[in-house]
Amino acid sequence: MDRAHWIEAPRPGKLLQLARDTFLSSGDLDSHVVREPIQASWLRSSQLRVDTDTLDPSFLGLEGPSALALTAAPVLSALAEELANESVSIILTDQHGLVLQRTCPDPSLVRQLDKAYLSPGFSYAEEQVGTNGIGTALEAGVPTMVTGSEHFSGSLGGFACAGAPIHHPVTGALLGVLDLTSSVTHSNALLMFCARSTAQKIEQQLLARSGARELALFRDYLAACQHPGSGVMALSPDLVMMNSQAQQRFDRADQAALLARSADAAGAADPVTLVADLPSGLVARMDYRPAFAGPELAGGVVRIQVQSGLDSSTGAPHAAVPVMPGLAGTSATWQRVCQAVDTSRRAGSWVVLEGEAGVGKIALLRSVNQLRNGSGHFRVMDASECGPAWLDTVADELAAGAGSLVIRRAHLLDSDTVSGLSELLLEYADGRRGVWVALTMRSEPRNPEVDAQLLPHFSHTVEVPPLRHHLEDMHKLVPHLLGRLNRGNNLGISPSALAQLMRLPWLGNVEQLRRVLLRVAQQRRSGTIELDDLPGECRATSRRRLTQLESLERDAVVKALVIHRGNKDKAASDLGMSRATIYRKIRDYGIVLTI
* Residue 321 pLDDT greater than 50, yes or no: yes
CA dist list (Å): 514 to 316, 506, 520, 546: 33, 11, 10, 19
As separate numbers, helices (DSSP H) first and strands (DSSP E) second, the chain gives: 20, 17
Angle ∠(439,444,448) on CA atoms, nearest 5: 70
Predicted confidence at residue 313, as pLDDT, reads: 43
Range with the lowest mean pLDDT among 42-56, 82-96, 472-486, 569-583? Answer: 569-583
Tell me: the pLDDT tens digits for 248-296?
Answer: 788 777 888 888 888 888 888 889 888 887 777 788 889 999 999 888 8
| Mean pLDDT across the chain | 85
Residue 158 pLDDT level (bands cut at 50, 70, 90): very high
Q: What pLDDT is attached to residue 541?
A: 58
Cα separations (Å) of 199 from 9, 93, 169, 181, 196?
20, 12, 11, 14, 5
Local confidence band at 317 (pLDDT 50, 70, 90 cut-offs): very low
Contact, 267 vs 297, CB < 8 A? yes
The kind and range of the H/E element at 406 are strand 404-408
Is residue 11 over pLDDT 60?
no
Whether the Cβ atoms of residue 440 and residue 353 lie closer than 8 Å to each other:
yes
Closest CA relative to residue 136, chosen from 153, 117, 119 = 153
The pLDDT of 37-45, averaged and rounded, is 93
The pLDDT-based confidence of 431 (bands split at 50, 70, 90) is: very low
Confidence band, pLDDT 50/70/90 cuts, at residue 206 = confident
Residue 139: predicted pLDDT: 92
The pLDDT value recorded for residue 454 is: 93
Statement: residue 470 has pLDDT above 80: yes
Domain ranges of the chain: 3-209, 227-306, 332-465, 535-595
Residue 535 has pLDDT above 80, yes or no: yes
Find the mean pLDDT for residues 76-104: 94
SS3 label, residue 573: helix
pLDDT at 59 over 90: no
Tell me: pLDDT of 196 over 50.
Answer: yes
353-409 per-position pLDDT tens digit: 999 899 999 999 999 998 887 667 899 999 999 888 999 999 999 988 788 999 999
Burial class (CB in 10 A: 0-12, 13-18, 19+), 345: buried
**Element spanning 174, H or E:** strand 174-183
- The reported pTM is 0.47
* Average pLDDT of span 459-474: 87
The answer on pLDDT for 190 being more than 80 is yes
Q: Which CATH number fits domain 535-595: 1.10.287.90, 1.10.10.60, 3.50.50.60, 3.40.640.10?
A: 1.10.10.60
Task: Please say whether the beta carbons of 167 and 174 come within 8 A.
Answer: yes
Q: Could you tell me which residue, 181 or 49, shows the higher pLDDT?
A: 181
Rounded mean pLDDT of 434-460? 90
Least confident of 102-111, 155-164, 167-176, 554-563: 554-563
User: Is the pLDDT confidence value at 469 over 90?
Assistant: no
Judging by beta carbons within 10 Å of its beta carbon (0-12, 13-18, 19+), is residue 523 exposed, middle or buried? exposed
Classify residue 122 by its DSSP letter.
Answer: B
Considering the four listed CATH numbers 3.40.50.300, 1.20.1090.10, 3.30.750.80, 1.10.20.140, the one that applies to the domain covering 332-465 is 3.40.50.300
Distance between CA atoms of residues 74 and 34, nearest Å:
37
Query: Cis (ω within 30 of 0) for the bond into 57?
Result: no
Query: Which residue did the predictor score with more confidence, 55 or 550?
Result: 55
| Integer Cα distance of 66 and 175 in angstroms | 11
Q: Which CATH number fits domain 3-209: 3.60.15.10, 3.40.640.10, 3.30.450.40, 1.10.238.10?
A: 3.30.450.40
The answer for 506, left when phi > 0, alpha when psi is -120 to 50, beta otherwise, is left
| Mean pLDDT (whole number) for 64-93 | 92
For residue 221, what is the enclosing H or E element? Answer: helix 190-225
Rg of the chain over all Cα atoms, to the nearest angstrom: 30
Which of the listed ranges 39-53, 231-245, 365-379 does the model predict with the highest average pLDDT?
39-53
Residue 175: pLDDT band with limits 50, 70, 90: very high
Range with the largest mean pLDDT of 167-171, 438-442, 489-493, 545-549: 438-442
Span 411-415, mean pLDDT?
93
Residue 466 one-letter amino acid: P
Same CATH topology for 3-209 and 535-595?
Answer: no
Spatial separation of the C-alpha atoms in residues 141 and 176, rounded to whole Å: 10
Pairing verdict, β 527-529 and 491-493: parallel
Q: Return the HEC string of 64-96.
A: CCCHHHHHHHHHHHHHHHHCCCCCCEEEEEECC
Return the CATH class of domain 227-306. Answer: alpha beta
Query: How high is the pLDDT of residue 423?
Result: 92
